[in-house]
Amino acid sequence: METAEFLEALYARLPADSVSVAPLGRTSEVMYALRPADTLFTDTMGDVTAISLGMAMAAAPLSVVGIDTDGGFLMNLSVLTALGDQLPRLGNYTLAVIDNHLYESGGGLPSRGTALDWSALFGAVGLKSVLVEAPHQVPEVLPLSGTVLIASVHNRAPAPDALKTVDGVESSYQVERVLAERTGRTPRRPALKP
């Protein structure tokens, strides 16, 4: 399964008004093609799960989806205990980790030098994981409380050149307006500078 195939199947099963948080690289570019207006595009590795978890807590009951990567998730394992504490209580949050075994954006180096048992990793904090190796294996109903999706992907073509026309700062204001509109809250505004 390729990244685009997984994301297309995932978005077909998520609530239509879901707000997303995207990582770097290929996944970000695919998400930009699929959902440019309601996706927060991060400019760093290791932040997707923490940011999307916080958004889900603050924006409930609005559906929030975090699309992390194996490399990005492994860079911030400190989020694991917070995820274990909060994910079972959140009926509005979907976390998917796209696992291609690479730091693809960083030149294609391996994301780990040993085998990784995602089920044991998430199980250590009381969570379940569902391995998705084909688009039809994406659960029909999302979000699944207390469950992380692990998408095993193998992309045949090299990562595409960046085509997004927004960066993390610009997309944060864009998503802030979407969240305000969908939740009825006042959007934050840029700080005024003297």
pLDDT at 169: 87
The pTM is what?
A: 0.92
Task: Per residue of the chain (194 residues), give pLDDT as tens.
Answer: 999 999 999 999 999 999 999 998 889 999 999 999 999 999 889 999 999 999 999 999 999 999 999 999 999 999 999 999 999 999 999 999 999 998 887 777 888 888 899 999 999 999 999 999 999 999 999 999 899 999 999 988 887 788 888 888 888 989 989 999 998 888 877 776 66
Distance between CA atoms of 46 and 68, rounded to whole angstroms? 8
CATH class of 3-183: alpha beta
Say if CB 169 and CB 16 are below 8 A apart.
Answer: no
User: Where exactly are the structural domains of the chain?
Assistant: 3-183
pLDDT at 194: 67
Q: In terms of Cα–Cα distance, which of 55, 74, 80, 75 is closest to 65?
A: 55
pLDDT at 12: 96
pLDDT at 192: 67
